[in-house]
Structure 1
Amino acid sequence: MLWAGSKGGLEVRTSADGATRLRGRFPYSTPTVLRGGREPRREVFEARAFGASVADGGDIHLLVHHDFDRPLASRSAGSLEIRDGDDALTFEAVIAPEMREVSYVADFLGTLAAGLVGGISPGFRVPEGGDRVKRDGQGLMRVVKTADLIEVSAVTKPAYPDAQVEARNWGRAAPEGAVNRQAAMLRWRA
Structure 2
Amino acid sequence: MENREFRAVKDYEIRQIQDTNTTEIDGYIAKFDSPTELFQGFYEKIDRGAFDNTLKDGHNIFLLYHHDWSKPLASTQTGTLTLSVDNVGLRFNATINDNLSYGKDAIELIKQGLISGCSFGFTCVRESNEYNANDDSIMRTLLEVELYEGSILCIPQYEDTTVFARAKEIDSKERAKLEQAKQNELDLELIKLELDLDN
Compute the TM-score of the two structures, normalised by the length of structure 1.
0.78
In structure 2, the residue matched to 1:13 is 15
Alpha-carbon contact 1:54-1:84 (below 8 Å) kept: no
Counting aligned pairs with the same residue, the percent is 28
Shift of 1:166: 4.1
Which secondary structure state, in structure 1, belongs to the residue aligned with residue 53 of structure 2?
A: helix
- How many residues are matched? 162
Q: What one-letter code is carried by the residue in structure 1 that aligns with 2:69?
A: F
Cα distance in structure 2, aligned partners of 1:67 and 1:132: 30
In structure 1, the residue matched to 2:35 is 31
Shift of 1:70: 0.9
Structure 1 or 2: more strand by fraction = 2
- Structure 1 residue runs of 4+, over 4 Å off? none
Change (3 A) 1:4 1:48: same
In structure 1, the residue matched to 2:111 is 113
Shift of 1:48: 2.4
| Structure 1: segments with no counterpart, 5+ residues | 173-181, 184-190
Shift of 1:155: 1.8
RMSD: 1.9
In structure 2, the residue matched to 1:167 is 162
Change (3 A) 1:166 1:117: farther
**What does the per-residue CA deviation read over 1:46-102, in whole Å, with 9 as the maximum and x for residues that have no partner?**
112111111122100001111111110001111111112343101111113xxx232
Matches within 5 A, 1:1-190: 1-8=4-11, 10-17=12-19, 18-25=21-28, 26-36=30-40, 40-96=41-97, 100-127=98-125, 130-136=126-132, 137-138=134-135, 139-159=137-157, 163-168=158-163, 169-170=166-167, 171=169
Change (3 A) 1:85 1:56: farther
Q: What one-letter code is carried by the residue in structure 1 that aligns with 2:23?
A: T
Cα distance in structure 1, aligned partners of 2:129 and 2:160: 17
Shift of 1:27: 1.1
**What does the per-residue CA deviation read over 1:126-158, in whole Å, with 9 as the maximum and x for residues that have no partner?**
12xx01222213412111111001101112222
User: Which structure has the greater CA radius of gyration?
Assistant: 2
